[in-house]
Amino acid sequence: MPAVVILGCGGVGRALLKQIAATKLTVAAVCDSKNALVAANGAFTAAQLSAIAEAKAAGKPLAVEGATVVPVTDSAGLAAVLKQCKEAAGGKCFVADCTASDATGPAMAEAGVAVALANKKPVTSSIDLYNKLALENPRNFRNESTVGAGLPVMAMLRRMVTSGDPISRVAGCFSGTLGFVMSGLEAGKKLSDVVAEAKSLGYTEPDPREDLSGMDVARKALIIARSMGWKLEMDDVKVEGMYPPEMGQDKMSVDEFMAALPSLDADMAGKAQAAAADGKVLRFAAVVADGKCLVGLQSVPKNTAMGALQGTDNIVEVISSCYPVSPLVIQGAGAGTETTASGVLADLLELADIHA
């Protein structure tokens, strides 16, 4: 039986620990940012997985009776743990990366393990690392949750590319937070009020600029482009965020940013009104087409799938040889710990079937 190693004990990692207990998969190790907890007999029980999740939710260190704690302080240390689990499982090891770490990608590549990613960093760093993880052995690579949480965006694109259906354009709204903001602007609310509401509801990061910068959407656009075979780096993605450089994280605190946000209300209201006058609405979207990735505000017809999008849902529209006029559309919840974890779990189960 392949060994599963779960990296990350945040919300997604904890949700995965609980979900995976009901499957045929065997979890051999769980890692947080400091340590790896390795099962004594190569497999944690469902009760142990639940106890680990509960302990981490309470802010406690990794520990469970009968398991070994191994300090993991860098990429090399993590690679050593992964190699150990792989060897103990007869050469088959699946790693679920639920972190936001830069160190996991090199470690997974060095260990030669199969991966199921929620972490975008391994596939948006250097193209060389991406090639090692995704292209050298495609049977060992799945990354559904890097783009649309549990939405089958990457599976759809992979099937289209594999079948030889040329994709000419992919467009989408990949941020539930920015979707909420766009819906508020469409309803006539002020930008500052909508962002404050989103922050109070927990939709934004603690610093809303993490969302409003558009960088998370840009990473998803790059992942899509690379899945289509484009050799792009992060610097090749053109991103236009929703605030000027003088309001950046290196210029002012979060509180100062929120206090200054009303200064953008009039300009954003003008853009929303101009779009409405033309029968359109504002959407913060990514467009992958003609060898380019563009991310930022767009005016789209209100009577389209993207124009009708409301709230925190995500959407992706694909134009290809088989879908030349009416795009292939996938829409639904694109965020949430349970949804994201379910996407990772589906990838792990697919890897298990491939390597059965």
Cα–Cα distance measured from residue 300 to residue 145, given in angstroms and rounded to the nearest whole number: 26
Please report the pLDDT score of residue 65 as a whole number.
87
The residue annotated as part of the active site, out of 132, 199, 220, 280, is 220
Cα–Cα distance measured from residue 169 to residue 327, given in angstroms and rounded to the nearest whole number: 9
Task: Decide: 59 and 307 in contact? Cβ < 8 Å.
Answer: no
pLDDT, averaged across the chain: 95
Please report the pLDDT score of residue 150 as a whole number.
84
Give per-residue pLDDT as tens, 177-219: 999 999 999 999 999 999 999 999 888 989 999 999 999 999 9
Angle, to 10 degrees, between the axis of helix 11-20 and the axis of helix 337-354? Answer: 50
Residue 41's CB is within 10 A of a number of other CB atoms, namely: 10
Give per-residue pLDDT as tens, 266-310: 999 999 999 999 999 999 999 999 999 999 999 999 999 999 999
Considering the chain, what percentage of its residues have pLDDT values greater than 70? 100
241 annotated binding-site participant: no
291 annotated binding-site participant: no
Top-level CATH class of 3-150+338-354?
Answer: alpha beta
Q: Is the pLDDT confidence value at 334 over 90?
A: no
Please report the pLDDT score of residue 148 as a whole number.
86
112 annotated binding-site participant: no
92 as an active site residue: the answer is: no
Burial 273-310, CB ≥16 within 10 A → b, else e:
eebbeeebbbbbbbbbeeeebbbbbbbbeeebbbbebe
Instruction: Count H helices and E strands in the chain, helices first.
Output: 14, 13
Is domain 164-333 given the CATH code 3.30.360.10 in the classification?
A: yes
Domain spans of the chain? 3-150+338-354, 164-333
98 annotated binding-site participant: no
Sheet of 280-289: strand order equals 237-239, 292-301, 280-289, 167-173, 313-320, 328-333
Mean pLDDT along residues 115-144 = 96
Tell me which residue of 330, 356, 355, 341 sits closest to 117, measured CA to CA: 341
Q: Is the pLDDT confidence value at 1 over 80?
A: no
Task: Decide: 335 and 149 in contact? Cβ < 8 Å.
Answer: yes
Q: How far is CA 352 from CA 93, 115, 348, in A?
A: 10, 11, 6
93 annotated binding-site participant: no
Mean pLDDT along residues 319-343 = 92
Concatenate the DSSP letters of all residues of 169-208 into one string: EEEEE--HHHHHHHHHHHTT--HHHHHHHHHHTT-S-SST
Indicate yes or no: pTM above 0.85: yes
